[in-house]
């Protein structure tokens, strides 16, 4: 049985005409409730400042509270720092559940994989997956694998975990495309760029290659 970590608060900010909008959570929740009525739902907690600062600089947290848009794609919303901490907290709770032997899934927004240590961008404010991975290491995990499968490269996650020998980051994404990164592999970072418009076989081949690397962690 899967434990799904989510919170209605994730639907209480945003703009209906923005690509990253409340409907992403609302529609997914409705689908999962219909298809998996036996799944357990639980609310997350907010990530603590200590947990967030493993991935981000203090000045970045200060910037999240300033009522100024971060870029054309990443607007300021009232309370966005708390919403982002809640999403990061859901990722942490999912890690804790997994380490206790329970299957878990975090259904939250805002997303996070473009947020760097010092910058919000690409709809992302805090890097939830990097925060969760560093939490896992902090509580005793020896190795962590991050699998990023998205149209866009998780540049923020790569930046934060780059060089960390306990973390392996693997990404399948379209390139060239936003944010213009992810065209090379190095150290603990393994990128699998795919040309936009590639067929499903090309995506599957890249996913299988990336999966073999993660299994080898």
Residues 130 and 145: their CA atoms lie apart, in Å, by: 11
Per DSSP, the three-state class of 105 is strand
Given 56, 114, 153, 173, the catalytic residue: 114
Residue 110 carries which DSSP code? S
Residue 60 catalytic?
Answer: no
CA nearest neighbour of 150 among 188, 185, 186, 181: 181
CB 123 within 8 A of CB 179: no
Residues 70 and 152: their CA atoms lie apart, in Å, by: 19
Catalytic positions? 114
């Amino acid at each position: 049985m899967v434990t799904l970590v989510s919170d209605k608060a994730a639907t209480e900010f945003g703009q209906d005409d923005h690509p990253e909008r409340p409907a992403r959570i609302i529609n997914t929740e409705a689908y999962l409730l219909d298809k998996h009525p036996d799944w357990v739902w639980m609310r997350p907690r907010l990530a603590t400042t200590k947990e967030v600062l493993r991935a981000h600089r203090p000045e970045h947290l200060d910037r999240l509270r300033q009522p100024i848009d971060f870029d054309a794609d990443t607007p300021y919303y009232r309370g966005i720092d708390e919403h982002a901490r809640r999403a990061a907290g859901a990722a942490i709770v999912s890690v804790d559940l997994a380490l206790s032997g329970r299957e878990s899934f975090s259904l939250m927004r805002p997303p996070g994989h473009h947020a760097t240590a010092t910058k919000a961008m690409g709809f992302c404010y805090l890097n939830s997956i990097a925060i969760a991975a560093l939490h896992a290491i902090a509580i005793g995990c020896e190795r962590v694998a991050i699998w990023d499968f998205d149209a866009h490269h998780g540049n923020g996650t790569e930046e934060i975990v780059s060089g960390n020998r306990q973390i392996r980051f693997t990404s399948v994404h379209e390139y060239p495309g936003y944010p213009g990164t992810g065209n090379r592999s190095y150290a603990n970072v393994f990128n699998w760029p795919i040309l936009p418009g590639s067929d499903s076989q090309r995506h599957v081949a890249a996913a299988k290659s990336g999966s073999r690397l993660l299994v080898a962690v």
